[in-house]
Structure 1
Amino acid sequence: MKFLTTICLLLIAPVIWAQEADLLSLVDSGGQKEYVTGAFKSSRVINGHSVEFIGKNVLDVRILHRFGRISDGIGEFFGLDQAAMRMGFDYGLGKNLTIGVGRSTAEKELDGFIKYRPIQQATGGKGASPVSVVLAAGAALTTQKFAADAKFTDTKHRMAYYSEVIIGRKFTEAFSLQVSPTYVHRNLVASQTDDNDTYAVGIGGRLKLSKRVAFVADYHYVVSGLNKDLYKNPLSLGFDIETGGHVFQLHFSNATGMNEKAFITNTTDSWGSGEIRFGFNLSRVFTIGKKKNTPGS
Protein backbone atom coordinates (compact mmCIF):
# COMPACT_ATOMS: atom_id res chain seq x y z
CA MET A 1 0.00 0.00 0.00
CA LYS A 2 2.84 2.40 0.84
CA PHE A 3 4.43 1.66 -2.52
CA LEU A 4 1.23 2.32 -4.45
CA THR A 5 0.68 5.55 -2.51
CA THR A 6 4.18 6.69 -3.40
CA ILE A 7 3.61 5.97 -7.09
CA CYS A 8 0.33 7.92 -7.07
CA LEU A 9 2.08 10.90 -5.49
CA LEU A 10 4.81 10.73 -8.12
CA LEU A 11 2.21 10.79 -10.86
CA ILE A 12 0.25 13.78 -9.57
CA ALA A 13 3.11 15.78 -8.07
CA PRO A 14 4.34 17.25 -11.39
CA VAL A 15 0.89 18.67 -12.12
CA ILE A 16 0.61 20.24 -8.67
CA TRP A 17 4.10 21.69 -8.76
CA ALA A 18 3.58 23.04 -12.27
CA GLN A 19 0.60 25.06 -11.06
CA GLU A 20 2.71 26.66 -8.35
CA ALA A 21 5.87 27.42 -10.31
CA ASP A 22 7.50 26.17 -13.48
CA LEU A 23 11.16 25.63 -12.68
CA LEU A 24 12.06 25.64 -16.35
CA SER A 25 10.53 29.05 -17.05
CA LEU A 26 13.39 31.10 -15.66
CA VAL A 27 13.75 32.78 -19.02
CA ASP A 28 10.74 34.73 -20.35
CA SER A 29 9.17 32.81 -23.20
CA GLY A 30 7.05 35.72 -24.39
CA GLY A 31 3.85 33.71 -24.10
CA GLN A 32 4.94 31.22 -26.78
CA LYS A 33 4.79 27.50 -26.14
CA GLU A 34 8.25 25.98 -26.00
CA TYR A 35 8.72 22.22 -25.89
CA VAL A 36 11.12 20.83 -23.31
CA THR A 37 13.85 18.49 -24.56
CA GLY A 38 16.86 16.80 -23.05
CA ALA A 39 15.15 15.15 -20.09
CA PHE A 40 17.48 12.22 -20.84
CA LYS A 41 20.49 12.01 -23.15
CA SER A 42 19.17 8.85 -24.79
CA SER A 43 15.88 7.27 -25.80
CA ARG A 44 16.61 4.71 -23.07
CA VAL A 45 17.31 5.40 -19.41
CA ILE A 46 19.49 2.28 -19.11
CA ASN A 47 17.27 -0.73 -19.78
CA GLY A 48 13.85 0.88 -20.06
CA HIS A 49 12.52 3.42 -22.54
CA SER A 50 12.83 7.09 -21.63
CA VAL A 51 10.50 9.96 -22.58
CA GLU A 52 13.08 11.11 -25.15
CA PHE A 53 12.92 10.41 -28.91
CA ILE A 54 15.69 10.22 -31.48
CA GLY A 55 13.92 12.44 -34.04
CA LYS A 56 12.57 12.10 -37.56
CA ASN A 57 14.70 10.31 -40.16
CA VAL A 58 17.32 9.39 -37.57
CA LEU A 59 18.72 5.86 -37.23
CA ASP A 60 20.04 4.96 -33.78
CA VAL A 61 22.41 1.97 -33.84
CA ARG A 62 22.62 0.56 -30.32
CA ILE A 63 25.19 -1.98 -29.07
CA LEU A 64 24.57 -3.27 -25.54
CA HIS A 65 26.84 -5.52 -23.45
CA ARG A 66 26.19 -7.18 -20.09
CA PHE A 67 29.15 -9.00 -18.57
CA GLY A 68 29.13 -11.74 -15.92
CA ARG A 69 28.85 -11.32 -12.17
CA ILE A 70 31.60 -9.29 -10.53
CA SER A 71 31.25 -11.64 -7.55
CA ASP A 72 32.55 -14.54 -9.68
CA GLY A 73 36.00 -13.20 -8.85
CA ILE A 74 39.36 -13.29 -10.53
CA GLY A 75 38.73 -16.74 -12.03
CA GLU A 76 36.20 -15.15 -14.40
CA PHE A 77 38.11 -11.84 -14.42
CA PHE A 78 35.29 -10.35 -12.32
CA GLY A 79 32.72 -11.25 -14.97
CA LEU A 80 34.54 -9.83 -17.98
CA ASP A 81 35.18 -13.34 -19.36
CA GLN A 82 31.44 -13.67 -19.96
CA ALA A 83 29.16 -11.44 -21.99
CA ALA A 84 25.61 -11.15 -23.29
CA MET A 85 24.94 -8.73 -26.13
CA ARG A 86 22.09 -7.01 -27.93
CA MET A 87 22.36 -5.14 -31.22
CA GLY A 88 19.46 -2.86 -32.03
CA PHE A 89 18.32 -0.47 -34.74
CA ASP A 90 15.84 2.27 -33.83
CA TYR A 91 14.41 4.58 -36.50
CA GLY A 92 12.48 7.82 -36.10
CA LEU A 93 9.42 7.88 -38.33
CA GLY A 94 8.53 11.27 -36.87
CA LYS A 95 9.36 13.63 -34.05
CA ASN A 96 7.07 11.66 -31.75
CA LEU A 97 7.13 8.21 -33.35
CA THR A 98 9.93 5.62 -33.24
CA ILE A 99 10.14 1.95 -34.21
CA GLY A 100 12.94 -0.45 -33.40
CA VAL A 101 14.20 -4.01 -33.74
CA GLY A 102 16.96 -5.91 -31.98
CA ARG A 103 18.56 -9.27 -31.41
CA SER A 104 19.98 -10.53 -28.11
CA THR A 105 22.34 -13.43 -27.53
CA ALA A 106 20.41 -14.34 -24.36
CA GLU A 107 17.83 -16.94 -25.46
CA LYS A 108 18.72 -15.88 -29.04
CA GLU A 109 15.86 -13.43 -28.76
CA LEU A 110 14.46 -11.16 -31.46
CA ASP A 111 12.46 -8.13 -30.34
CA GLY A 112 10.68 -5.14 -31.80
CA PHE A 113 8.80 -2.13 -30.49
CA ILE A 114 6.84 0.99 -31.40
CA LYS A 115 6.97 4.13 -29.28
CA TYR A 116 4.67 7.18 -29.55
CA ARG A 117 4.52 10.45 -27.63
CA PRO A 118 1.03 12.04 -27.62
CA ILE A 119 2.01 14.70 -25.06
CA GLN A 120 5.32 16.55 -24.75
CA GLN A 121 6.29 18.71 -21.80
CA ALA A 122 6.21 22.40 -22.66
CA THR A 123 6.45 25.83 -21.05
CA GLY A 124 4.58 29.03 -21.85
CA GLY A 125 1.62 29.34 -24.18
CA LYS A 126 -1.87 27.94 -23.85
CA GLY A 127 -2.22 24.26 -23.00
CA ALA A 128 1.43 23.69 -22.13
CA SER A 129 1.81 20.31 -20.43
CA PRO A 130 3.94 19.97 -17.27
CA VAL A 131 4.81 16.37 -18.19
CA SER A 132 5.55 14.20 -21.21
CA VAL A 133 3.44 11.10 -21.82
CA VAL A 134 4.80 8.26 -23.95
CA LEU A 135 3.15 5.01 -25.04
CA ALA A 136 5.32 2.01 -25.91
CA ALA A 137 4.52 -1.55 -26.96
CA GLY A 138 6.68 -4.40 -28.15
CA ALA A 139 7.10 -8.12 -28.70
CA ALA A 140 9.89 -10.66 -28.27
CA LEU A 141 10.49 -14.00 -29.95
CA THR A 142 12.80 -16.63 -28.44
CA THR A 143 14.58 -18.56 -31.20
CA GLN A 144 16.78 -20.91 -29.18
CA LYS A 145 15.97 -24.61 -29.40
CA PHE A 146 13.54 -26.09 -26.93
CA ALA A 147 14.55 -29.18 -24.97
CA ALA A 148 13.90 -32.46 -26.76
CA ASP A 149 11.17 -33.39 -24.26
CA ALA A 150 9.51 -29.95 -24.29
CA LYS A 151 5.72 -30.16 -24.22
CA PHE A 152 5.00 -26.82 -25.94
CA THR A 153 7.08 -26.05 -29.03
CA ASP A 154 4.86 -23.98 -31.32
CA THR A 155 5.93 -20.51 -32.44
CA LYS A 156 3.20 -18.96 -30.30
CA HIS A 157 4.86 -20.43 -27.22
CA ARG A 158 8.02 -18.48 -28.06
CA MET A 159 6.24 -15.13 -28.02
CA ALA A 160 5.97 -12.46 -25.33
CA TYR A 161 4.49 -8.96 -25.42
CA TYR A 162 4.67 -5.79 -23.37
CA SER A 163 3.04 -2.39 -23.19
CA GLU A 164 3.75 0.61 -20.98
CA VAL A 165 2.85 4.21 -20.28
CA ILE A 166 5.74 6.53 -19.44
CA ILE A 167 5.06 9.77 -17.57
CA GLY A 168 8.09 11.98 -17.12
CA ARG A 169 9.17 15.51 -16.34
CA LYS A 170 12.36 17.52 -16.63
CA PHE A 171 12.17 19.44 -13.36
CA THR A 172 15.36 21.46 -13.86
CA GLU A 173 18.25 21.52 -16.30
CA ALA A 174 19.97 19.02 -14.01
CA PHE A 175 17.19 16.69 -12.84
CA SER A 176 14.59 14.54 -14.65
CA LEU A 177 12.30 11.81 -13.36
CA GLN A 178 9.83 9.40 -14.96
CA VAL A 179 7.41 6.64 -13.91
CA SER A 180 6.36 3.79 -16.21
CA PRO A 181 3.59 1.31 -15.33
CA THR A 182 4.32 -1.78 -17.45
CA TYR A 183 2.44 -4.93 -18.46
CA VAL A 184 4.23 -8.04 -19.78
CA HIS A 185 2.46 -11.10 -21.19
CA ARG A 186 4.35 -14.34 -21.86
CA ASN A 187 2.59 -17.08 -23.79
CA LEU A 188 4.76 -19.67 -22.04
CA VAL A 189 6.24 -19.42 -18.53
CA ALA A 190 9.02 -21.51 -17.04
CA SER A 191 7.28 -22.40 -13.79
CA GLN A 192 3.74 -23.07 -12.60
CA THR A 193 4.34 -20.54 -9.82
CA ASP A 194 4.60 -17.77 -12.45
CA ASP A 195 1.68 -16.09 -14.16
CA ASN A 196 1.49 -15.40 -17.87
CA ASP A 197 0.76 -11.77 -16.99
CA THR A 198 3.29 -9.68 -15.09
CA TYR A 199 2.72 -6.14 -13.82
CA ALA A 200 5.58 -3.80 -12.92
CA VAL A 201 6.27 -0.13 -12.26
CA GLY A 202 9.47 1.40 -13.55
CA ILE A 203 11.19 4.50 -12.17
CA GLY A 204 13.96 6.27 -14.08
CA GLY A 205 15.98 9.31 -13.14
CA ARG A 206 18.79 11.48 -14.45
CA LEU A 207 21.05 13.91 -12.60
CA LYS A 208 23.28 16.03 -14.79
CA LEU A 209 26.82 16.31 -13.39
CA SER A 210 28.48 18.30 -16.17
CA LYS A 211 27.85 19.37 -19.75
CA ARG A 212 28.51 15.87 -21.07
CA VAL A 213 28.14 13.54 -18.07
CA ALA A 214 25.02 12.52 -16.14
CA PHE A 215 24.20 9.98 -13.45
CA VAL A 216 21.23 7.73 -14.34
CA ALA A 217 19.19 5.17 -12.43
CA ASP A 218 16.68 2.63 -13.74
CA TYR A 219 14.54 0.46 -11.42
CA HIS A 220 11.51 -1.78 -12.04
CA TYR A 221 9.38 -3.02 -9.17
CA VAL A 222 7.46 -6.19 -10.07
CA VAL A 223 4.01 -5.84 -8.53
CA SER A 224 2.68 -9.29 -9.42
CA GLY A 225 3.11 -12.27 -11.72
CA LEU A 226 6.49 -13.68 -10.61
CA ASN A 227 7.80 -15.94 -7.89
CA LYS A 228 9.50 -13.40 -5.60
CA ASP A 229 11.68 -16.11 -4.05
CA LEU A 230 13.34 -16.72 -7.41
CA TYR A 231 13.07 -13.50 -9.39
CA LYS A 232 14.34 -10.07 -8.33
CA ASN A 233 13.54 -6.50 -9.24
CA PRO A 234 16.03 -5.17 -11.83
CA LEU A 235 18.08 -2.17 -10.69
CA SER A 236 20.68 -0.42 -12.83
CA LEU A 237 22.93 2.52 -11.93
CA GLY A 238 25.30 4.22 -14.33
CA PHE A 239 26.69 7.24 -16.10
CA ASP A 240 25.84 8.74 -19.50
CA ILE A 241 28.83 10.18 -21.35
CA GLU A 242 28.07 12.19 -24.50
CA THR A 243 30.81 12.37 -27.15
CA GLY A 244 29.55 14.05 -30.30
CA GLY A 245 27.19 11.69 -32.10
CA HIS A 246 27.76 8.97 -29.51
CA VAL A 247 26.16 8.42 -26.14
CA PHE A 248 28.34 6.02 -24.16
CA GLN A 249 26.82 4.59 -20.99
CA LEU A 250 28.66 2.69 -18.26
CA HIS A 251 26.56 1.00 -15.61
CA PHE A 252 26.16 -1.74 -13.01
CA SER A 253 23.05 -3.94 -12.90
CA ASN A 254 21.64 -7.19 -11.58
CA ALA A 255 19.83 -7.75 -14.89
CA THR A 256 21.16 -9.59 -17.94
CA GLY A 257 18.16 -9.14 -20.25
CA MET A 258 18.04 -6.16 -22.60
CA ASN A 259 14.39 -5.93 -23.58
CA GLU A 260 11.35 -5.42 -21.35
CA LYS A 261 10.27 -9.05 -21.32
CA ALA A 262 13.81 -10.18 -20.49
CA PHE A 263 14.88 -7.80 -17.75
CA ILE A 264 11.48 -7.58 -16.00
CA THR A 265 10.64 -11.30 -15.93
CA ASN A 266 14.06 -13.02 -16.09
CA THR A 267 16.21 -11.24 -13.49
CA THR A 268 17.36 -13.72 -10.83
CA ASP A 269 20.48 -11.97 -9.48
CA SER A 270 20.35 -9.81 -6.35
CA TRP A 271 22.20 -6.64 -5.42
CA GLY A 272 21.96 -7.72 -1.78
CA SER A 273 23.94 -10.88 -2.57
CA GLY A 274 26.56 -8.99 -4.56
CA GLU A 275 25.35 -10.47 -7.87
CA ILE A 276 26.10 -7.36 -9.88
CA ARG A 277 27.19 -7.11 -13.51
CA PHE A 278 29.17 -4.41 -15.25
CA GLY A 279 27.85 -3.37 -18.64
CA PHE A 280 27.75 -0.65 -21.24
CA ASN A 281 25.40 0.78 -23.86
CA LEU A 282 26.76 2.45 -26.99
CA SER A 283 24.44 4.58 -29.10
CA ARG A 284 25.41 6.12 -32.46
CA VAL A 285 22.90 8.12 -34.49
CA PHE A 286 22.88 8.60 -38.26
CA THR A 287 20.70 11.02 -40.19
CA ILE A 288 19.00 9.13 -43.02
CA GLY A 289 16.83 11.94 -44.38
CA LYS A 290 17.10 15.72 -44.52
CA LYS A 291 15.61 16.54 -41.15
CA LYS A 292 17.29 15.80 -37.83
CA ASN A 293 15.76 16.29 -34.40
CA THR A 294 17.82 14.73 -31.61
CA PRO A 295 17.34 15.20 -27.86
CA GLY A 296 19.04 18.24 -26.37
CA SER A 297 21.52 18.17 -23.56
Structure 2
Amino acid sequence: MKKALSYILIMLCAYNGVAQDLGDILDQQTSDTTLLVASTFNGTRLLNGHSVETRKEGVLEFLISHRFGRINSGFEQLFGLDDSNIRFGLEYAINDRLTMAFGRSSFEKTFDVYGKYRLLQQKTGQNPFPFGLTVFGSATQKTIKDYEPDDKPSFSDRLTYTGQLLIARKFSPSLSVQLAPTFVHFNTVPESVDPNDIISIGIGTRVKISKRVSLNGEYFYNVNPFESVNVKNSLAFGVDIETGGHIFQLILTNSVSMIEKGFLAETGGDFFKGDIHFGFNISRAFQIKKTDRP
Protein backbone atom coordinates (compact mmCIF):
# COMPACT_ATOMS: atom_id res chain seq x y z
CA MET A 1 0.00 0.00 0.00
CA LYS A 2 2.81 2.41 0.93
CA LYS A 3 4.67 1.65 -2.29
CA ALA A 4 1.52 2.26 -4.32
CA LEU A 5 1.03 5.63 -2.63
CA SER A 6 4.65 6.45 -3.36
CA TYR A 7 4.20 5.82 -7.08
CA ILE A 8 1.03 7.94 -7.11
CA LEU A 9 2.89 10.74 -5.37
CA ILE A 10 5.66 10.62 -7.97
CA MET A 11 3.16 10.83 -10.79
CA LEU A 12 1.46 13.83 -9.19
CA CYS A 13 4.80 15.53 -8.66
CA ALA A 14 5.83 14.88 -12.26
CA TYR A 15 2.47 16.21 -13.49
CA ASN A 16 3.10 19.44 -11.58
CA GLY A 17 6.59 19.75 -12.99
CA VAL A 18 8.29 18.62 -9.78
CA ALA A 19 10.50 15.54 -10.23
CA GLN A 20 11.50 13.59 -7.17
CA ASP A 21 13.41 10.34 -7.00
CA LEU A 22 11.43 7.32 -5.79
CA GLY A 23 14.37 6.22 -3.61
CA ASP A 24 14.30 9.56 -1.76
CA ILE A 25 10.60 9.13 -1.02
CA LEU A 26 11.02 5.56 0.23
CA ASP A 27 14.03 6.57 2.36
CA GLN A 28 11.93 9.32 3.91
CA GLN A 29 9.18 6.80 4.71
CA THR A 30 11.72 4.48 6.37
CA SER A 31 13.20 7.28 8.45
CA ASP A 32 9.70 8.18 9.66
CA THR A 33 9.20 4.64 11.02
CA THR A 34 10.58 3.22 14.28
CA LEU A 35 11.60 -0.44 13.98
CA LEU A 36 12.48 -2.90 16.76
CA VAL A 37 15.75 -4.73 16.25
CA ALA A 38 15.08 -8.49 16.38
CA SER A 39 17.31 -11.55 16.79
CA THR A 40 20.30 -9.89 18.41
CA PHE A 41 21.23 -13.47 19.34
CA ASN A 42 19.91 -16.81 18.12
CA GLY A 43 18.38 -17.90 21.42
CA THR A 44 18.02 -17.21 25.12
CA ARG A 45 21.56 -18.49 25.83
CA LEU A 46 24.79 -16.96 24.58
CA LEU A 47 26.88 -19.96 25.73
CA ASN A 48 27.07 -20.62 29.48
CA GLY A 49 25.22 -17.43 30.27
CA HIS A 50 21.96 -15.91 29.19
CA SER A 51 21.51 -13.61 26.24
CA VAL A 52 19.35 -10.51 26.11
CA GLU A 53 16.68 -12.48 24.21
CA THR A 54 13.30 -13.51 25.63
CA ARG A 55 10.70 -15.72 23.97
CA LYS A 56 7.38 -14.54 22.58
CA GLU A 57 4.24 -14.74 24.75
CA GLY A 58 2.92 -18.24 25.31
CA VAL A 59 6.11 -20.06 24.30
CA LEU A 60 7.40 -22.90 26.49
CA GLU A 61 11.07 -23.69 25.90
CA PHE A 62 12.67 -26.96 26.97
CA LEU A 63 16.44 -26.78 27.39
CA ILE A 64 19.02 -29.52 27.81
CA SER A 65 22.57 -28.51 28.69
CA HIS A 66 25.42 -31.00 28.88
CA ARG A 67 29.07 -30.68 29.92
CA PHE A 68 31.55 -33.56 29.72
CA GLY A 69 34.76 -33.96 31.71
CA ARG A 70 38.05 -32.25 30.98
CA ILE A 71 39.63 -32.93 27.62
CA ASN A 72 43.08 -33.21 29.22
CA SER A 73 41.95 -36.15 31.38
CA GLY A 74 43.41 -38.44 28.72
CA PHE A 75 42.39 -41.53 26.80
CA GLU A 76 41.53 -43.49 29.97
CA GLN A 77 38.60 -41.11 30.48
CA LEU A 78 38.09 -40.86 26.70
CA PHE A 79 39.20 -37.23 26.89
CA GLY A 80 36.40 -36.35 29.27
CA LEU A 81 33.55 -38.14 27.53
CA ASP A 82 33.29 -40.73 30.35
CA ASP A 83 32.18 -37.98 32.72
CA SER A 84 29.06 -35.93 32.23
CA ASN A 85 26.94 -33.27 33.92
CA ILE A 86 23.50 -32.34 32.70
CA ARG A 87 20.89 -29.68 33.31
CA PHE A 88 17.23 -29.76 32.32
CA GLY A 89 15.25 -26.54 32.24
CA LEU A 90 11.81 -25.19 31.36
CA GLU A 91 11.23 -21.55 30.44
CA TYR A 92 7.79 -20.03 29.91
CA ALA A 93 7.15 -16.62 28.36
CA ILE A 94 4.32 -15.01 30.31
CA ASN A 95 4.45 -12.20 27.78
CA ASP A 96 6.94 -10.89 25.22
CA ARG A 97 9.00 -9.25 27.96
CA LEU A 98 8.74 -11.57 30.98
CA THR A 99 10.01 -15.15 31.20
CA MET A 100 9.96 -17.42 34.27
CA ALA A 101 11.91 -20.66 34.52
CA PHE A 102 12.92 -23.69 36.56
CA GLY A 103 15.90 -26.04 36.23
CA ARG A 104 17.75 -28.96 37.78
CA SER A 105 21.48 -29.68 37.42
CA SER A 106 23.20 -32.96 38.17
CA PHE A 107 26.33 -30.99 39.17
CA GLU A 108 26.01 -30.53 42.95
CA LYS A 109 22.35 -31.64 42.53
CA THR A 110 21.26 -28.02 42.23
CA PHE A 111 17.78 -26.58 41.69
CA ASP A 112 17.42 -23.12 40.18
CA VAL A 113 14.57 -20.72 39.49
CA TYR A 114 14.88 -17.45 37.61
CA GLY A 115 13.13 -14.68 35.81
CA LYS A 116 14.08 -12.47 32.87
CA TYR A 117 12.46 -9.16 31.99
CA ARG A 118 13.20 -7.31 28.76
CA LEU A 119 13.25 -3.72 29.93
CA LEU A 120 14.44 -2.00 26.73
CA GLN A 121 14.81 -3.07 23.10
CA GLN A 122 17.15 -1.67 20.47
CA LYS A 123 15.39 0.44 17.84
CA THR A 124 16.18 2.02 14.50
CA GLY A 125 14.39 4.64 12.42
CA GLN A 126 12.72 7.83 13.57
CA ASN A 127 13.17 7.23 17.33
CA PRO A 128 16.27 5.03 17.57
CA PHE A 129 17.59 3.48 20.76
CA PRO A 130 21.16 2.15 20.74
CA PHE A 131 20.91 -1.07 22.77
CA GLY A 132 18.68 -3.69 24.36
CA LEU A 133 18.49 -4.26 28.11
CA THR A 134 17.22 -7.36 29.90
CA VAL A 135 17.20 -7.84 33.68
CA PHE A 136 17.94 -11.33 35.03
CA GLY A 137 17.50 -12.68 38.57
CA SER A 138 17.89 -16.21 39.97
CA ALA A 139 17.95 -18.23 43.16
CA THR A 140 19.62 -21.64 43.49
CA GLN A 141 19.93 -24.32 46.11
CA LYS A 142 22.62 -26.97 46.24
CA THR A 143 21.22 -30.27 47.57
CA ILE A 144 24.21 -32.62 47.30
CA LYS A 145 25.07 -34.23 50.64
CA ASP A 146 28.71 -33.14 50.81
CA TYR A 147 28.68 -32.43 54.54
CA GLU A 148 29.18 -34.40 57.74
CA PRO A 149 25.96 -35.90 59.22
CA ASP A 150 26.32 -33.88 62.41
CA ASP A 151 26.97 -30.64 60.49
CA LYS A 152 23.96 -30.47 58.18
CA PRO A 153 23.44 -26.94 56.80
CA SER A 154 20.03 -25.29 56.88
CA PHE A 155 17.90 -24.67 53.80
CA SER A 156 18.92 -21.02 53.64
CA ASP A 157 22.61 -21.81 54.15
CA ARG A 158 22.72 -23.43 50.72
CA LEU A 159 20.96 -20.67 48.83
CA THR A 160 22.68 -18.41 46.30
CA TYR A 161 21.24 -15.41 44.49
CA THR A 162 22.25 -13.77 41.22
CA GLY A 163 21.33 -10.42 39.72
CA GLN A 164 22.42 -9.47 36.22
CA LEU A 165 22.01 -6.77 33.61
CA LEU A 166 22.23 -7.98 30.02
CA ILE A 167 23.11 -5.07 27.73
CA ALA A 168 23.38 -5.90 24.03
CA ARG A 169 23.73 -4.17 20.69
CA LYS A 170 23.31 -5.59 17.21
CA PHE A 171 25.84 -3.66 15.15
CA SER A 172 24.97 -5.40 11.88
CA PRO A 173 23.10 -8.52 10.71
CA SER A 174 26.28 -10.51 11.38
CA LEU A 175 27.70 -8.92 14.55
CA SER A 176 26.19 -8.61 18.04
CA VAL A 177 27.93 -7.77 21.34
CA GLN A 178 26.70 -8.10 24.92
CA LEU A 179 27.90 -6.83 28.30
CA ALA A 180 26.75 -8.55 31.50
CA PRO A 181 27.58 -6.87 34.83
CA THR A 182 26.67 -9.47 37.46
CA PHE A 183 26.22 -9.68 41.24
CA VAL A 184 26.25 -13.06 43.03
CA HIS A 185 25.41 -13.47 46.73
CA PHE A 186 26.30 -16.64 48.67
CA ASN A 187 24.54 -17.17 51.99
CA THR A 188 27.44 -19.46 52.94
CA VAL A 189 31.02 -19.30 51.62
CA PRO A 190 33.84 -21.89 51.74
CA GLU A 191 35.94 -19.97 54.29
CA SER A 192 35.56 -16.84 56.40
CA VAL A 193 38.09 -14.98 54.21
CA ASP A 194 35.85 -15.41 51.16
CA PRO A 195 33.40 -12.65 50.19
CA ASN A 196 29.69 -13.41 50.31
CA ASP A 197 29.11 -10.96 47.48
CA ILE A 198 30.95 -11.42 44.21
CA ILE A 199 30.96 -9.02 41.27
CA SER A 200 31.65 -10.26 37.77
CA ILE A 201 31.74 -8.48 34.40
CA GLY A 202 30.87 -10.51 31.32
CA ILE A 203 31.34 -9.82 27.64
CA GLY A 204 30.11 -11.92 24.76
CA THR A 205 29.72 -11.77 21.01
CA ARG A 206 28.01 -13.49 18.11
CA VAL A 207 29.40 -13.48 14.59
CA LYS A 208 26.94 -14.85 12.05
CA ILE A 209 28.68 -16.72 9.22
CA SER A 210 25.61 -18.02 7.39
CA LYS A 211 21.83 -17.88 7.64
CA ARG A 212 21.72 -20.62 10.29
CA VAL A 213 25.25 -20.80 11.72
CA SER A 214 27.13 -18.39 13.98
CA LEU A 215 30.31 -18.33 16.08
CA ASN A 216 30.02 -17.21 19.71
CA GLY A 217 32.46 -16.19 22.42
CA GLU A 218 31.93 -15.40 26.10
CA TYR A 219 34.19 -14.30 28.98
CA PHE A 220 33.48 -13.36 32.61
CA TYR A 221 36.00 -11.46 34.74
CA ASN A 222 35.63 -11.82 38.51
CA VAL A 223 36.40 -8.54 40.28
CA ASN A 224 36.64 -10.11 43.77
CA PRO A 225 36.82 -13.94 43.56
CA PHE A 226 36.95 -16.37 46.49
CA GLU A 227 40.34 -16.24 48.22
CA SER A 228 40.43 -19.74 49.68
CA VAL A 229 39.72 -21.39 46.32
CA ASN A 230 41.79 -21.17 43.13
CA VAL A 231 39.04 -19.68 40.96
CA LYS A 232 39.53 -19.01 37.25
CA ASN A 233 37.54 -16.69 35.03
CA SER A 234 34.95 -18.45 32.90
CA LEU A 235 35.73 -18.62 29.17
CA ALA A 236 33.71 -20.26 26.40
CA PHE A 237 33.69 -20.55 22.62
CA GLY A 238 30.96 -22.16 20.59
CA VAL A 239 28.96 -22.64 17.41
CA ASP A 240 25.23 -21.99 17.10
CA ILE A 241 23.21 -24.03 14.61
CA GLU A 242 19.56 -23.19 13.95
CA THR A 243 17.39 -26.06 12.71
CA GLY A 244 13.75 -25.05 12.59
CA GLY A 245 12.38 -24.91 16.13
CA HIS A 246 15.70 -26.13 17.56
CA ILE A 247 18.83 -24.19 18.48
CA PHE A 248 21.88 -26.42 18.89
CA GLN A 249 25.04 -25.03 20.49
CA LEU A 250 28.40 -26.82 20.54
CA ILE A 251 30.63 -25.45 23.31
CA LEU A 252 34.21 -25.54 24.58
CA THR A 253 34.57 -24.05 28.08
CA ASN A 254 36.61 -24.29 31.28
CA SER A 255 33.38 -24.29 33.34
CA VAL A 256 31.53 -27.46 34.25
CA SER A 257 28.58 -25.75 35.95
CA MET A 258 25.71 -24.47 33.80
CA ILE A 259 24.20 -21.99 36.26
CA GLU A 260 25.48 -18.54 37.15
CA LYS A 261 26.75 -19.12 40.67
CA GLY A 262 28.81 -22.08 39.42
CA PHE A 263 30.45 -20.89 36.23
CA LEU A 264 30.92 -17.32 37.49
CA ALA A 265 32.25 -17.89 40.99
CA GLU A 266 33.42 -21.52 41.16
CA THR A 267 35.19 -22.33 37.88
CA GLY A 268 38.47 -24.08 38.71
CA GLY A 269 39.82 -25.08 35.30
CA ASP A 270 42.44 -23.21 33.27
CA PHE A 271 41.27 -23.12 29.67
CA PHE A 272 44.78 -22.57 28.30
CA LYS A 273 46.18 -25.58 30.18
CA GLY A 274 43.67 -27.94 28.64
CA ASP A 275 41.05 -27.85 31.39
CA ILE A 276 38.38 -27.67 28.71
CA HIS A 277 34.93 -29.21 28.87
CA PHE A 278 33.20 -30.07 25.63
CA GLY A 279 29.44 -29.67 25.84
CA PHE A 280 26.26 -28.59 24.17
CA ASN A 281 23.00 -26.74 24.71
CA ILE A 282 19.89 -27.75 22.81
CA SER A 283 16.49 -26.11 23.06
CA ARG A 284 13.03 -26.75 21.64
CA ALA A 285 10.28 -24.15 21.71
CA PHE A 286 6.55 -24.95 21.83
CA GLN A 287 3.72 -22.45 21.33
CA ILE A 288 1.28 -23.58 24.01
CA LYS A 289 -0.86 -20.45 24.31
CA LYS A 290 -2.72 -18.82 21.45
CA THR A 291 -2.19 -15.09 21.07
CA ASP A 292 -3.89 -12.36 19.06
CA ARG A 293 -0.84 -11.85 16.82
CA PRO A 294 -1.56 -11.56 13.10
TM-fit CA distance, 1:27 = 10
TM-fit CA distance, 1:148 = 1.7
- 2: CA distance, partners of 1:228 / 1:132: 37
TM-score (norm 2): 0.87
- Equivalent residue, structure 2, for 1:68: 69
- Equivalent residue, structure 1, for 2:102: 101
- 1: CA distance, partners of 2:150 / 2:174: 51
**Contact 1:53–1:95 at 8 Å: present in 2 too?**
yes
Identity of aligned residues (%): 39
- Equivalent residue, structure 2, for 1:280: 280
- 1: CA distance, partners of 2:54 / 2:292: 11
TM-fit CA distance, 1:28 = 6.4
**Contact 2:191–2:228 at 8 Å: present in 1 too?**
no
Paired residues in the alignment total 267
Q: Specify whether residues 78 and 181 from structure 1 end up closer, same or farther in structure 2 by C-alpha distance, changes over 3 A only.
A: same
TM-fit CA distance, 1:86 = 0.3
Structure 2 alignment gaps of length 5 or more: 1-26
Bigger RCO (CA 8 Å, 6+ sep)? 1
**Contact 2:225–2:231 at 8 Å: present in 1 too?**
no
Asked whether 1:179 is paired with 2:179, we answer: yes
More divergent stretch after superposition (221-230 vs 155-164): 221-230
- SS of 2:176's partner is strand
1:213-252 alignment, distance < 5 Å: 213-227=213-227, 230-252=230-252
Residues 221-265 of structure 1: per-residue CA shift (max 9 Å, x gap): 101142386000010100000001000000100001111111111
TM-fit CA distance, 1:165 = 0.9
- Equivalent residue, structure 2, for 1:15: none
Q: Specify whether residues 204 and 150 from structure 1 end up closer, same or farther in structure 2 by C-alpha distance, changes over 3 A only.
A: farther
Q: Specify whether residues 103 and 174 from structure 1 end up closer, same or farther in structure 2 by C-alpha distance, changes over 3 A only.
A: same
- 2: CA distance, partners of 1:282 / 1:246: 7
Residues 33-64 of structure 1: per-residue CA shift (max 9 Å, x gap): 11001111011101111111111100110000
Name the amino acid aligned to 2:281.
Answer: N
- Equivalent residue, structure 2, for 1:271: 271
Structure 1 alignment gaps of length 5 or more: 1-25
- SS of 2:271's partner is coil
TM-fit CA distance, 1:117 = 1.1
- 1: CA distance, partners of 2:254 / 2:291: 38
**Contact 2:198–2:224 at 8 Å: present in 1 too?**
yes
Residues 141-196 of structure 1: per-residue CA shift (max 9 Å, x gap): 11112422564611010100000111110000000001010000010112333211
- 2: CA distance, partners of 1:103 / 1:229: 25
More divergent stretch after superposition (44-53 vs 149-158): 149-158
TM-fit CA distance, 1:29 = 2.3
- Equivalent residue, structure 2, for 1:154: 154
Q: CA RMSD in A?
A: 1.8
- 2: CA distance, partners of 1:103 / 1:93: 21
- SS of 1:94's partner is coil
Structure with larger Rg:
2
TM-fit CA distance, 1:219 = 1.0
